[in-house]
Amino acid sequence: MLLPPTRMASSTKVHDLIVERLSQLGVRHVFGVGGANIEDMFAAVQRRRPEIRAVLCKHEHAAGTAADAYARLRGFGVVMTTSGGGAMNLVHAMAEARASRIPVLAIVGEPPTNLQGKGAFQDTSGKGSAVDALAVFRAVTVYAARVERAADAPQLLEEALEAALGGLQGPSLLLIAKDLQCAEIATSRSAVGRTGAPTARPNQVDLQLASRWLSNRPVVVIAGPEVSRCHAELDLALLATELDATVATAPDARDAFDNRDPRFLGVSGAMGHLAVSEAIQAAQTVLLAGTTLPLLARQGLESVLSEKAIVSVGLERPFVSFPRCVHVDGDLSTSLRTLATLATDSPRTSPASVRFDAAQGPPIRPPSFTMASLLDALDRSAPAGSVILVDAGNTGASAVHHVRSPRGGRWLLAMGMAGMGYTFGAATGAAFATGKRCIVIAGDGAFFMQGMEIHTAVEHGLPITYVILDNRAHGMCLVRERLLLGENAGYNAFRSSRLGAGLAAMFPGLPAHDCETRSEFELLLQRSFRESGPSVVCASMPDVEVPPFSAFRERAPTALTVPREVDDGRVENAR
């Protein structure tokens, strides 16, 4: 929802109108990659420094994920790119934002209108034989439009912002030709503020029914990312107390509940903890708070959940249907607070919750050089208030299992598309959004995809620690190949690299190091957290480990590693 417009000058240029609008919305950083057809927008942003400024990223995908992370932490993000390959490079980031309901506005420049369809450079107008960017982006956004006349720009901008910020949020995109960006238009409108999170009131009848179901104890809560995005953590904690409930989180929502609270069970689903399954087995009712319960959040729990009474609260229903389920739509904070109030007066129909060993933290392990031991060390040393960004793959699965959300911090895991390399651009956006220490946890495969975004962190002196666990493979694919397919195709392993040394040579002054022992790793971590700017800690892992993933545990419960082909073609033995 948007506030009423305010007055401004009787005429302005389209690019200035857009920048004024963004500034009034509270946007302080715009991410992107420049080019001929977007340079006027970039220049308009830069003329408003320091109120708002452009951040040049190294790749449009990284710019899109930077805007995505900025939105997850501040409520709204903006990315700008040129047409052609620049626009096409943005598709994956927009797809992630749509799948995860992240409010991002993308502004894509196009060639001047008089050249479209006539062989213009990087033409995406859809005219003649040109690619139609509008058709492409309509598939991966909640709203996409092309500005055909300069006078239409204010209205289309309004529509794009409404779609991104209202109701079921997501990415919006505007395509604007270079000449139309610079066109003068008559207007009496200015940028407007927004009210924040959706304010749709939950249905009282549904709330009363949900309250009655929640009186059947024990209750287990599974919390999702909507909790943190609408700042409902305290509301959830209060409800858990009133219900005497234990709490698990979806893999992408560790920051929804205090991971050190005695009620915390751990993470649900494929990368989750046994205590969650045990608690749900003993429960009468399961409360889904701000989660659609995607596959990775429910894998291994489907059968037991189908036997329980399910109460779901949040903007979207669960992806799967349950035999007994009530869903409360509307504002999540309001629903949680109301249910907590109703719970104080509700009689209990069963004894207090059965207690399980909560996931207080990873167990202390011997000083071995494994993913688990290194992630345990990171978990214990991560500064309070920091932002943890977890990438996809073997490293990500292990991090979800072993690393808690820091006290007062945030946890970002892009499960919408689960694309490798998300964290490198996202960390840039997270650092600008919060100014706090950001910790990237990624594998070498993710680094090879998007790791040059580290240059942006160096350029701006951003407080980012990049932890790269280098197992010289696309680890998740290699483990799947060996355990699930029973194949030895030999294409998922890499030659050895010295990523830390290489980055230190590329970027003089960047603290970037390789390590091969746990003591080295812990020392480098501590040093990195004392840096004011970026640093890189790369651990050269001796093995391709089997991560704590349910499909792998079921197929090979005792397997710790899988063979990896080495540089001369020999195969290392599994242990």
Structural domain count, the chain = 3
**Span 362-408, pLDDT tens digits:** 555 555 899 999 999 999 999 999 999 999 999 999 999 999 999 99
For residue 194, is it within any domain? Answer: no
Q: Report strand pairing: 172-177 vs 410-413.
A: unpaired
Residue partners of 348: CB distance under 8 A and separation at least 6: 215, 217
Label residue 11 by pLDDT band (50, 70, 90).
confident
Strands (E), 268-324: 285-289, 309-313
On whether both 474 and 546 belong to a single domain, the answer is yes
On whether both 131 and 252 belong to a single domain, the answer is no
What pLDDT was estimated at residue 573?
Answer: 47
On whether both 418 and 477 belong to a single domain, the answer is yes
On whether both 506 and 555 belong to a single domain, the answer is yes
Q: Is 248 helix (H, G, I), strand (E, B) or coil?
A: strand
What pLDDT was estimated at residue 542?
Answer: 94
For residue 567, is it within any domain? Answer: no
On whether both 257 and 168 belong to a single domain, the answer is no
Q: Is the pTM of this model over 0.85?
A: yes
Residue with tokens 């040393």: 381
CATH number of residue 303's parent domain: 3.40.50.1220
**Span 101-159, pLDDT tens digits:** 999 999 999 999 999 899 999 999 999 999 999 999 999 999 999 999 999 999 999 99
Q: Is 253 helix (H, G, I), strand (E, B) or coil?
A: coil
Q: What are the structure tokens assigned to 540, written together?
A: 């050269």
In the predicted structure, residue 1 carries a pLDDT above the cut 70: no
**Separation CA 474–CA 508 (nearest Å):** 29
For residue 263, is it within any domain? Answer: yes
CATH number of residue 113's parent domain: 3.40.50.970
On whether both 457 and 326 belong to a single domain, the answer is no
* Domain extent for 236: 204-345
On whether both 399 and 530 belong to a single domain, the answer is yes
Q: Is 267 helix (H, G, I), strand (E, B) or coil?
A: strand
Residue 538, strand partner residues: 468, 514
For residue 304, is it within any domain? Answer: yes
Residue among 512, 561, 565 at smallest CA distance from 536: 512
For residue 268, the 8-state DSSP code is: -
**Span 535-562, pLDDT tens digits:** 999 999 999 999 999 889 889 999 999 9
For residue 152, the 8-state DSSP code is: G
For residue 447, is it within any domain? Answer: yes
Residues in the chain, how many?
575
On whether both 19 and 165 belong to a single domain, the answer is yes
Domain boundary among 186, 217, 232: 186
For residue 4, is it within any domain? Answer: no
For residue 359, is it within any domain? Answer: no
On whether both 317 and 445 belong to a single domain, the answer is no
Residue among 150, 175, 181, 149 at smallest CA distance from 160: 175
Domain boundary among 122, 153, 186: 186
**Separation CA 450–CA 448 (nearest Å):** 6
56 Rama sector, left if φ>0, alpha if ψ -120 to 50, beta otherwise: beta
Strands (E), 229-364: 246-249, 264-267, 285-289, 309-313, 325-328
Domain boundary among 345, 379, 400: 345
Chain centroid to CA 447 = 17
Residues 19-40, mean pLDDT to the nearest whole number: 97
**Helices 60-74 & 422-434 angle (0-180, nearest 10):** 40
What pLDDT was estimated at residue 384?
Answer: 97
On whether both 68 and 36 belong to a single domain, the answer is yes
Label residue 572 by pLDDT band (50, 70, 90).
low
On whether both 78 and 106 belong to a single domain, the answer is yes
- Identify whether the C-beta of residue 561 lies closer than 8 Å to the C-beta of residue 574: yes
- Identify whether the C-beta of residue 286 lies closer than 8 Å to the C-beta of residue 265: no
On whether both 127 and 175 belong to a single domain, the answer is yes
**Separation CA 51–CA 34 (nearest Å):** 20
Whether residue 111 is preceded by a cis peptide bond, meaning omega within 30 degrees of 0, is no
What pLDDT was estimated at residue 355?
Answer: 54
What pLDDT was estimated at residue 344?
Answer: 82
What pLDDT was estimated at residue 365?
Answer: 52
For residue 246, is it within any domain? Answer: yes
